[in-house]
Amino acid sequence: MSQPVIRSDGKYGWTDTGRPIPLEQFVAEESVESSESVEDRIPDEYKTRVIVDHANASPANCHGWVFTEGRFLVRGRYVDMILHDNGYHAVADPQLGDLIIYRDEHGEPIHTGTVKAVGDAGFVLIESKWGALDTYLHLPQDQLYSQGYSYFRSSRAGHALMMLAGGGPT
């Protein structure tokens, strides 16, 4: 599959403290959407370990899936700012609705998901969007980004940034 095209229209979302976060979008390529089935888009090593939750219908990446309700792409370099400004704190005991942040070898956020279920014996089910691909339900370790991850919780209602047409936060 070719690299997706990204479009920036000068739109911003705002953290709870009023910090602007640039928003972008994937531009769908018709050839990819029409020539590949959902099954074809799942990397082979994950075909028996993930469930397709939403087929490729969003212009967002994983961070945007969480922080803009699937409307925009958010770059990983802004994730720690959002966590800080929106009152998130790391937790060891994930609960329904918490975030999971995956980090690269330098500690930079590279993938974000949401805890969708918690069960006995440490069972946790994550929903995350894989780049320009689909949204999947999977165990925390069953994704292609990193095995370094932490859970985060905030007392705020929802995870979405403030997004207002034509201006900053009120």
Q: How far is CA 143 from the centre of its chain?
A: 12
Residue 148 confidence (pLDDT): 97
Structure tokens belonging to residue 156? 């705020």
Q: What distance in Å separates the CA atoms of residue 47 and residue 39, rounded to the nearest whole number?
A: 8
Tokens 């958010």 correspond to: 74
Q: By the 8 A CB rule, do 72 and 24 touch? A: yes
- Bridging pattern class, strands 109-118 and 89-91: unpaired
Tokens 């994730």 correspond to: 79
- Count of alpha carbons within 13 angstroms of residue 152, beta-carbon side: 23
Closest Cα partner for 78 from 136, 19, 10, 139? 19
Q: By the 8 A CB rule, do 62 and 128 touch? A: yes
Exposed, middle or buried: residue 156 (CB in 10 Å: 0-12, 13-18, 19+)?
exposed
Q: Each residue's pLDDT tens digit in the chain (170 positions)?
A: 456 677 778 899 999 999 999 999 887 654 344 456 767 777 788 888 888 887 766 889 999 999 999 999 999 999 999 999 999 999 999 999 999 999 999 999 999 999 999 999 999 999 999 988 889 999 999 999 999 999 999 999 999 999 855 455 54
Q: What distance in Å separates the CA atoms of residue 104 and residue 111, rounded to the nearest whole number?
A: 9
pTM of the model: 0.86
Residue 31 confidence (pLDDT): 38
Closest Cα partner for 10 from 148, 165, 169, 170? 165
Q: Which amino acid is at 118?
A: V
Residue 27 confidence (pLDDT): 78
Judged by DSSP in three states, 146 sits in coil
Residue 4 confidence (pLDDT): 67
Residue 168 confidence (pLDDT): 52
Residue 135 confidence (pLDDT): 92
Residue 131 confidence (pLDDT): 86
- The residues pairing with 126 across neighbouring beta strands, listed in sequence order, are 115, 138
